[in-house]
Amino acid sequence: METRDETSAGGLVVSGMAEAVGPGGKVDMSRIYVALIGRLDRRGRLLWSMPKGHVENGEHQWKTAEREVWEETGITGEAFDTLGTIDYWFVSDGVRIHKTVHHNLLRYVDGVFNDEDPEVTEVAWVPMSELMEHLAYADERKLARIACDRMPDLARKEAQAGRATPR
């Protein structure tokens, strides 16, 4: 069977990090939001995941993540940290495909949601405190756990740097 490698990139767009830092540096995870996309599966169920898509020739994974987030959600994010990589195998049209997906953290910059991408059914802001129960795929939940564990330190750094979320 023919085998092909494919690479994608995307991630979590995060909003409200600095604003979630309270007195004494305590971080309220319910005040930090992440952008997710929903797609209908073959059974008509809405499955939530991180936006992502194909890396173009010569494109850095952060640029791909920023472009794909914009294409799939309508919002602009700025990649600022790597989150992790997922890889898996599947068969499509008689070709065995090894897919590698690079996930990143992106800072919300601008824009409003749209679901004009034909592959996306719905787009939503989800509180980081509820992220785990929204994500449909176990491998993305593992990356989300990493993001949740790192978020308090990242939020405090954003607050210390004076970076407020654009409104």
- Give the DSSP per-residue string, the chain: --EEEEEEEEEEEEE-TGGGB-GGG-B-GGG-EEEEEEEE-TTS-EEEE--EEEPPTT--HHHHHHHHHHHHHSEEEEEEEEEEEEEEEEEETTEEEEEEEEEEEEEEEEE-----STT-SEEEEEEGGGHHHHB--HHHHHHHHHHHHHHHHHHHHHHHTT-PPP-
The neighbour count for residue 143, using CB atoms within 10 Å, is 22
The whole-number pLDDT of residue 118 equals 84
What is the full per-residue pLDDT of the chain (167 aa) written as tens digits?
899 999 999 999 999 999 999 999 999 999 999 999 999 998 999 999 999 999 999 999 999 999 999 999 999 999 999 999 999 999 999 999 999 999 999 999 999 998 677 889 999 999 999 999 999 999 999 999 999 999 999 999 999 999 988 87
Residue 84's pLDDT is 97
Domains assigned to the chain? 3-161 (3.90.79.10)
The pair of structure tokens assigned to 154 is 């990242």
Burial class (CB in 10 A: 0-12, 13-18, 19+), 80: middle
pLDDT at 117: 77
